[in-house]
Amino acid sequence: MKVLVGILTIALLLPSVSFAHGGRTNAEGCHTNRKTGEYHCHAKKVKRVAKSSARTTARASARSVYVDKNCSDFETQKEAQKFYEQEGGPTQDAHDLDRDKNGIACESNKK
């Protein structure tokens, strides 16, 4: 009985073996089987984001997250409102641009 438990324990702890071939795949993870001529894929398609787009987004996020803005930083109320909405609006007013919590940022700024 102890031997059976030991064998089962070892079998469960060993990584499962997967049988695959070493054939090369293209950018989509696909290739043609040399023996059958069948074209098939192994990997799911991955949506790739352009590096420049990702960098631009990251930089914009970094600027708005780490710079504390005040109403005096905006020339107009419209400009402040746009920033306020981009930063999450009433649900996330990290810059406290809407002090009376009515959804309108920097009401004292000129229109």
Element (H, E) at 35: none
Nearest Cα residue to 105 out of 61, 59, 74: 74
What distance in Å separates the CA atoms of residue 60 and residue 87, rounded to the nearest whole number?
11
- Which segments in the chain show pLDDT lower than 50? none
Q: What is the pTM of this model?
A: 0.41
- Rounded mean pLDDT of the chain? 77
pLDDT of residue 29: 79
